Structure 1
Amino acid sequence: MDEPNYRLQYYKFLISKHYRKILLGLALLVLIFTSVKTVGPEEEGVVLYVGHYDRTVDPGLHFILPFGIEEMEKIPVQRQLKQEFGFRTVAAGTSTQYSKENFADESLMLTGDLNLANVEWVVQYRIVNSYNYLFKVRDADKALRDMSEAAVRKVVGDRTVNEVLTVGRQEVASSVEVLLQRMCDEYENGIRIDQVVLQDVNPPEPVKPSFNAVNQAQQERETLINKAESEYNRIIPRARGEADETIQLAEAYALKRVNLATGEAARFNSLFEEYIKAPEVTKKRIYLETMEKILPKIGGKIIVDENGNNVLPLLNLDQPKKK
């Protein structure tokens, strides 16, 4: 064998040996990549054997059969997930940014009084059963979006536009949460609803100015009603208090007059009884008592007898009695 052919075969041998090492290395990498799986601390790993459920593994490092014989789906069972309706968050943080796309097809709804309302809401949920989430419902996330939209439309359709826009928002959110959880339990999709939040509820843009004017008028009406009730609560109790005071004074005066009249009548009756027993003595006693009351009130006094002969020019009747 000549030397050039020998060298050529030697080079081919070296190249084939080098390729075998490369192929062996690639096969080893594929083996490691397809058989070694890491499950995060907030996840569960669902292992599929040729497309069928085999087992569920906990967080950590796990080995499965390579080359696609077994596959692993990682389900975030310890993480709270959310779905947004009527808007999309592009970047969350200190300055949250929202998508400028129009999502009116999912947020525009008909209320029970045949008005329109633009309802934006968020569904916060958790995956509590990985098997049901993957195998009981096809595309559980999309099914949840459809169920959420159906639940909100049903609840909003049972209420007036004023309830949805103002005082009934919390009730709408609570009713949607209960209804949506009932639907998830019925479909066995492995999802638990944590909370439904009405992010923003507004009338449609074309009628928004008119609605705001009506809303402002209603607020002014409520303000005037509250002011009138406040004035009523201030004046009426005072008037009632004054009326009660007048009634009590009148009753006290009436009681005083009745007691005084009763006392005078009793005194007269007692005098009359004494008069019957001794008319002259009683008459004289009454006369003297009356004069005792009258004389101190008279200024200068001159006392004469009945013929006008004997005169007492001075009589100190005005001086107080010495005790």
Structure 2
Amino acid sequence: MADNQYEININPDWIRKYLAKILLGLFGLVIIFMAVKTVGPEEEGVVIQLGEYNRTVQPGLNFIVPFVETMYKIPVQRQLKQEFGFRTSAPSQRSEYVKTGYSDESMMLTGDLNLTDVEWVVQYRIVDSYKYLFRVRNADKTLRDMSEAAMRKIVGDRTVNEVLTVGRQEIATSVEILLQEMCEEYENGIRIDQVVLQDVNPPEPVKPSFNAVNEAQQERETLINQAEAEYNRVIPRARGEARETIQLAEAYALNRVNRARGEADRFNSIFEAYVKAPEVTKQRLYLETIEKILPKIGNKVITDERGSNVLPLLNLNPQQKTPQQ
């Protein structure tokens, strides 16, 4: 029994035609994939045609010419940041930071020739994507160099105590203003939102000495505040008492002087009346004196110096009632 033999004849032209269609389809898909670009809602698309700026496209679906045009997506609506002296290794609710290897960025010299370890953050936005790409080469790296230069300049004009304590906010504000001026001068299309001093410390080898000095300064300030509080409590009170004593003395002196003047005027008036009518004046003075003396004597009995018996003639104390018999 003879074996059945099957022969399959494959046309080479058909294979080439089929492979050509497949390759053409794949090439078309690649072209479409390269031509269609999606720009996010926080981005702008900058299209470069043969190495030259062509146009800027808005968020959404956009098309470019493959192999001829290139698109760069710039996050113009997003706040960006650069960290100096440290890096965020794991951003979360409790972010983790790495400081090892970044001391060259943060170690700087103050105006009084002391070293400080300054860690800061620059928050910025890209406001002009064209300038960001074409005015400055590698704008992010340039901004980092500008930030470091600005911080070193401002810190170099301050003392170490200002940098570590009361001058931190002023330093951050000054760096922000200076850095924005540099960005406008370089036309890099960046706007500085904020400069934040993350942490400012003395170098590790001298940190104990700085802490001791700070504690001494704080103790001095405490003692000064206590002394000023005691001064404010005692001195105003003493001044008030002194003022009160002076006012009482002035009032007493004024009273005495006025009374003396009144007595002198009264004496002069009596003398003038006496000159005009001596007997009448003497009688009036006598009666006025008796009127003042009699109420102070108590029970009074008038007798006849020639009589032999005591005879009450007048009851001059009406407040005492005669006892009933």
In structure 2, the CA distance between the partners of 1:264 and 1:13, relative to structure 1 (3 Å rule), is same
Q: Counterpart in 2 of 1:47? A: 47
Instruction: Report the aligned-residue RMSD.
Output: 2.3
- Would the aligned equivalents of 1:303 and 1:312 in 2 still touch at CA under 8 Å? no
Distance 2:60 2:300 in 1: 129
Residue 309 (1) aligns with residue 306 (2)? yes
2:145 corresponds to which letter in structure 1? D
Residue 263 (1) aligns with residue 262 (2)? yes
Distance 1:77 1:49 in 2: 21
Distance 2:128 2:309 in 1: 129
Q: Counterpart in 1 of 2:29? A: 29
Distance 1:304 1:152 in 2: 115
Q: How many residues align?
A: 315
In structure 2, the CA distance between the partners of 1:284 and 1:317, relative to structure 1 (3 Å rule), is farther
- What CA deviation, in whole Å up to 9, does each residue of 1:231-265 have, x standing for no partner? 21122222222122212211221121122111111
1:21 corresponds to which letter in structure 2? K
Q: Counterpart in 2 of 1:297? A: 296
Distance 1:22 1:311 in 2: 172
More off after superposition, 171-180 vs 291-300:
291-300
Structure 1 segment 121-160 matched on structure 2, within 5 A: 121-160=120-159
- Would the aligned equivalents of 1:47 and 1:53 in 2 still touch at CA under 8 Å? yes
Distance 1:219 1:309 in 2: 99
1:126 corresponds to which letter in structure 2? R
- What CA deviation, in whole Å up to 9, does each residue of 1:14-42 have, x standing for no partner? 54344323312320121012111111111
Q: Counterpart in 1 of 2:271? A: 272
- Would the aligned equivalents of 2:131 and 2:189 in 1 still touch at CA under 8 Å? yes
Structure 1 segment 204-219 matched on structure 2, within 5 A: 204-219=203-218
Q: Mind listing any 5+ residue stretches in structure 2 that lack a counterpart?
A: 321-325
1:319 corresponds to which letter in structure 2? N
SS in 1 for 2:100: coil
Residue 188 (1) aligns with residue 187 (2)? yes
Q: Mind listing any 5+ residue stretches in structure 1 that lack a counterpart?
A: none
Q: Counterpart in 1 of 2:224? A: 225
- Would the aligned equivalents of 2:82 and 2:122 in 1 still touch at CA under 8 Å? yes
- Would the aligned equivalents of 1:42 and 1:77 in 2 still touch at CA under 8 Å? yes
Distance 2:308 2:242 in 1: 62
More off after superposition, 281-290 vs 159-168:
281-290
Distance 2:155 2:116 in 1: 9
Alignment partner for residue 317 of structure 2, among 289, 308, 319?
319
- Would the aligned equivalents of 1:302 and 1:311 in 2 still touch at CA under 8 Å? no
1:249 corresponds to which letter in structure 2? L
Q: Counterpart in 1 of 2:112? A: 113
- Would the aligned equivalents of 2:120 and 2:198 in 1 still touch at CA under 8 Å? yes
Residue 20 (1) aligns with residue 17 (2)? no
Q: Counterpart in 1 of 2:323? A: none
Identity %: 72
Q: Counterpart in 2 of 1:59? A: 59
Shift of 1:316: 5.0
Shift of 1:228: 1.4
Distance 1:81 1:114 in 2: 33
Q: Counterpart in 2 of 1:71? A: 70
Distance 1:205 1:112 in 2: 20
- What CA deviation, in whole Å up to 9, does each residue of 1:198-229 have, x standing for no partner? 11111111111111111111111111111211
Distance 1:175 1:189 in 2: 20
Shift of 1:9: 4.0
Distance 2:53 2:122 in 1: 29
In structure 2, the CA distance between the partners of 1:174 and 1:310, relative to structure 1 (3 Å rule), is same
